[in-house]
Amino acid sequence: MATTTRAPRTSRRKAAEPATDRPKADPTRAKLLDAATEVFAERGYYATTVREISQRAGTNIASVNYYFRDKLGLYTEVLRRAVSSVGLAARAEFERDLPPEQALRAAVKVFLSRLYGRDRPSVPFRLMRHELSQPTPAMSQVVNEVMRPNYDRLRAAVGSILGLPPDHETTRLCAHSIMGQVLFYPMTAPVMPIIWPQLKVTPERLDDIANHIVNFSLAYLRSARAKP
């Protein structure tokens, strides 16, 4: 008789906070984080076991509970750390007090380079790709702490170019269109060599792509700018 595999259900409990009384510089903790980052990026939260992480880190299973309380606590810390690496780089560009168009260009370059990686989608993107297809309780926490602030900064820049408030529907739609263009490249990385074999993804090429995204977007934003 054929067996039916059920898709994992998202837990309703809140994302666990890591054990704050454990030393964060502990080498065992660092090994667990590094190993968990690799496994979660490869397999996602639900397909990963604590045993697999512990084996790859060279630690015992109990160490996950000791440092992070449980698997969800470890995953939340991994996701927060990975997404923060992108978020902090983008935040630095938004806070350089540049004109809105320049801030937009700088931020898009950061997002694209940090999400694509060197030769394939980066760890933060691969983690979020799993998260989007099978959400966990960690998502809302990481979105509110890391992603929402840059989303607000992006809307502020786009709204300034449009002459509209950040919360205006047109501002949001334009910001989402820009985000969609950025995500297209890491999302389609597996098929891009088939549909565009001439494309060689180098840092310089990503820079060219980022400039195209911004130039393409600015053409509309300028034309749609609200008249005083």
Is residue 118's pLDDT more than 80?
A: no
Amino acid present at 75: Y
Which band of pLDDT confidence, cut at 50, 70 and 90, is reported for residue 59?
A: very high
pLDDT band at 16 (very low <50, low <70, confident <90, very high): low
Quote the number of domains for the chain. 2
Give the pLDDT confidence of 62-99 residue by residue, as tens digits: 999 999 999 999 999 999 999 999 999 999 999 998 99
57-64: long-range contacts, CB 8 A cutoff, minimum separation 24? 57/28, 57/31, 57/32, 58/31, 59/28, 59/31, 59/32, 63/28, 63/32, 64/32
116 and 196 part of one domain: yes
Quick: pLDDT tens for 168-213: 999 999 999 999 999 999 999 989 999 999 999 899 999 999 999 9
- The rounded Cα 4 to chain-centroid distance in angstroms is 32
8 confidence band (pLDDT: 50, 70, 90): very low
> Concatenated DSSP letters for 153-207?
HHHHHHHHHHTS-TTSHHHHHHHHHHHHHHHHHHHTTTTHHHH-TT----HHHHH
Q: What is the pLDDT of residue 55?
A: 96
Q: Which residue range(s) make up the domain with 151? A: 83-223
Indicate the pLDDT class of residue 6, thresholds 50, 70 and 90: very low
Query: Do 115 and 204 share a domain, yes or no?
Result: yes
Residue 111 has pLDDT above 80, yes or no: yes
Does a structural domain hold residue 38? yes
Q: What is the CATH number of the domain that holds 61?
A: 1.10.10.60
C-alpha distances out from residue 180 to 68, 79, 184, 213, Å: 34, 21, 6, 10
What pLDDT shows up at residue 117? 74
Confidence label for 19 from pLDDT (cuts 50, 70 and 90): low
CA–CA separation, 147 and 141 (whole Å): 10
Instruction: Label residue 121 by pLDDT band (50, 70, 90).
Output: confident
* Block residue for tokens 């408030």: 165
Of residues 72, 4, 60, the one with CA closest to residue 32:
60
Which pair of structure tokens corresponds to residue 194? 């088939």
- Looking at residue 25, what DSSP letter applies? T
Task: Point out the least confidently predicted range of 13-22, 65-74, 160-169.
Answer: 13-22
Assess whether 202 and 125 both reside in one domain.
yes
Q: What is the mean pLDDT of residues 163-169?
A: 97
Tell me the CATH number at 195. 1.10.357.10
Burial of 129: CB neighbours in 10 Å, binned 0-12, 13-18, 19+: middle
Global pTM reads: 0.84
